[in-house]
Amino acid sequence: MIKVTLTILQMSAMVALGCPTTEFEASPEGVGFQIEGPKLVAFWARHYGMDPVVACEIVRLESDWNTWASGDHNQSCGWWQFKLKTWRGIRQEMGVRNSMDLRFDPFESTVAACYAMICGNRGSGYRHWWTTYEQAVLNVGGKMK
């Protein structure tokens, strides 16, 4: 199972938003906390009103849970395969730091992707930007939004 190491600040943000502390364990390195990748994605999907099963399927289709995955001739990267221009636009809309390296961070990219799909573009969402969105919905038997 894919495990993601979070900083104390990242874990605290999730706990403040209602994530049970039982979802986390101390990291083997002794710095930060770990959570299973699908649980991280499901939490943020639910937080932004997205189907967590569809969100996890998108990550599987886009990167197969490979943090360092790259596609589109190395223009897209990370779990969610963000292109730099898209990343910068979404992060600016969210009002948060938009360092391009954060596209490889499972926590940061998941928050941005779940926000973008549901809340981005003044609430109409950017689901159509992910070419795998429709396939993910079909794969899990969900309904298109």
Domain range annotation of the chain: 36-140
Q: What was the pLDDT predicted at 145?
A: 65
Residues of the chain with pLDDT below 50 are none
**Contact residues for 107 (Cβ-Cβ < 8 A; gap 6+):** 4, 6, 10, 40
Nearest to 42 by CA among 26, 32, 54: 54
CATH topology of domain 36-140: Lysozyme (1.10.530)
CA angle, 76 then 79 then 80, to 5°: 60
- Using the CB atoms, write b or e for 75-92: b if 16+ within 10 Å: ebbbbbbbeeebbebbbe
- Count the Cβ atoms, other than its own, within 10 Å of residue 4: 23
pLDDT in tens, 10-32: 999 999 999 999 999 998 887 78
